[in-house]
């Protein structure tokens, strides 16, 4: 089976840096995604990692360690609009390889 853990809530200050952690235990691994979801809206794709290391995309970076079953999403220069839930998702390692298993999400509040 799959188990994905993220903190439930985090608060950070505008302009600061925040790191959102995700740990997973899965029977096989075929990639990890991060999504952003504003309240009442659809999740939107942020990043993808399949190999160990850091992937940087503007203010957002994502890190993966497959041996530790660990990933984090790093948000720099926080803005108020970054207040949202951040979802970690692991791709099932089956023949379809697309179905994603999601963690419960981390709700980030950015305060002035």
Candidates 12-20, 39-47, 60-68, 71-79: pick the segment binding other proteins (CB under 8 A).
Answer: 39-47
């980030």: which residue's tokens? Answer: 108
Q: Give the Cα separation of 54 and 88 in Å (integer).
A: 15
Output the CA torsion sign for 21, 65, 35, 26: negative
Q: In this complex, which beta carbon is closest to other proteins, that of residue 69 or of residue 103?
A: 103
- List CB contacts of 21: < 8 A, sequence separation 6 or more: 6, 7, 70, 71, 72
- Sites for other proteins among residues 43-62 (CB under 8 A): 43-45, 48, 50
Q: Give the Cα separation of 43 and 67 in Å (integer).
A: 28
Count of residues in contact with other proteins, rule CB under 8 A: 24
CB of 31 to other proteins, least distance (A): 7
Q: What is the DSSP letter of 98?
A: -
Candidates 13-21, 40-48, 58-66, 71-79: pick the segment binding other proteins (CB under 8 A).
Answer: 40-48
**Should residue 100 be labelled a site residue for other proteins when binding is judged by CB under 8 A?**
yes
Residues that bind other proteins (CB under 8 A): 31, 33, 35, 40-45, 48, 50, 87, 89, 95-105
């Amino acid at each position: 089976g799959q188990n994905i853990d993220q903190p439930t809530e985090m608060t950070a200050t505008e302009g600061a840096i925040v790191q959102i952690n995700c740990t997973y235990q899965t029977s096989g691994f075929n990639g990890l995604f991060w999504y952003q979801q504003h309240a009442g809206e659809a999740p939107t794709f942020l990043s993808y990692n399949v190999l160990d290391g850091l992937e940087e995309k503007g203010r957002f970076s994502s890190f993966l360690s497959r041996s530790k079953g660990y990933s984090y999403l790093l948000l720099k220069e926080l803005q108020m609009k970054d207040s949202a839930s951040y979802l970690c998702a692991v791709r099932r390692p089956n023949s379809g390889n697309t179905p994603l298993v999601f963690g419960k999400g981390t709700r980030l509040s950015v305060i002035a």
